[in-house]
Amino acid sequence: MKERINVDESRFDFKNKVDYAYKSAPGLNEEIIREISKNKAEPKWMLKKRLEALKIFQSMPEPDFGVDRSQLNIDKIVPYIRPNAGKEASWEEVPEEIKETFERLGIPEAERKALAGVGAQYDSEVVYQHIRKELEDLGVIFLDMETAVKKYPDLVKKYFMKLVPASDHKYAALHGAIWSGGSFVYIPENVKVPLPLQAYFRMNLAGMGQFEHTLIIADRGSELHFIEGCSAPRYNVHNLHAGMVEIFVMEGAKVRYSTIQNWSKNTFNLNTKRAVVEADGVMEWVSGSLGSMKTMLYPATILKGRGSKANHLAVTYAGVGQVMDTGSKVIHLAPDTSSTVDARSISIGGGWAFYRGLLYISERAKNAKSSVECSALMLDNESKSDTVPIIDVRTEQADIGHEARIGRISEDQIFYLMTRGLTEVEAKAMIVRGFMEPIARELPIEYAVELNRLINLEIESSIG
Host H or E run for residue 277: strand 272-277
pLDDT in tens, 201-212: 999 888 999 999
Q: What is the pLDDT of residues 186-239, one digit of tens each?
A: 999 999 999 999 999 999 888 999 999 999 999 999 999 999 998 888 888 999
Lowest-confidence segment of 178-192, 227-241, 320-334 by average pLDDT: 227-241
Helix 411-419 / helix 424-440 crossing angle, nearest 10 deg: 110
Q: How confident is the model at residue 35 (pLDDT cuts 50, 70, 90)?
A: very high
Three-state DSSP class for 281? coil
Residue 367: pLDDT band with limits 50, 70, 90: very high
pLDDT of 8 higher than 80: no
DSSP bridge partners of 286: 258, 313
Q: State the alpha helices, DSSP H only, in 259-352.
A: none
Residue type, 278: E
CA dist 207 and 260 (Å) reads 22
- Categorize the per-residue pLDDT at 440 as very low, low, confident or very high, splitting at 50, 70 and 90: confident
Coil/strand/helix, residue 293? coil
pLDDT for 45: 97
Question: Residue 136: enclosing H or E segment and its boundaries?
Answer: helix 133-137
User: According to the 3-state scheme, what is the secondary structure of 29-54?
Assistant: CHHHHHHHHHHCCCCHHHHHHHHHHH
What average pLDDT does the segment 73-80 reach?
96
CA dihedral defined by 232, 289, 161, 364, rounded to 10 degrees? 180
Q: How far apart are CA 53 and CA 179, in angstroms?
A: 11
Cα Rg of the chain, angstroms:
21
- Phi and psi (nearest 5°) for 267? -105, 135
In this structure, what DSSP letter does residue 78 have?
A: B
Which pTM does this prediction carry?
A: 0.93
CB 318 within 8 A of CB 353: yes
CA 192 to chain CA centroid, nearest Å: 23
Nearest to 12 by CA among 98, 105, 100, 97: 105
How far CA 260 is from CA of 214, 341, 405, 437, in Å, comes to: 15, 18, 24, 15
Q: Helix-strand-coil percent breakdown of the chain, rounded to 5? A: 30, 35, 35
User: CB–CB of 14/233 below 8 Å?
Assistant: yes
- Neighbouring CB atoms inside 10 A of 445's CB total 10
Mean per-residue pLDDT, 431-455: 78
The answer to whether 140 and 158 have CB atoms below 8 angstroms apart is no
Distance between CA 196 and CA 183 in Å, rounded?
Answer: 14
Distance CA 245, CA 160 (A): 10
Q: Is it the case that residue 151 has pLDDT exceeding 80?
A: yes
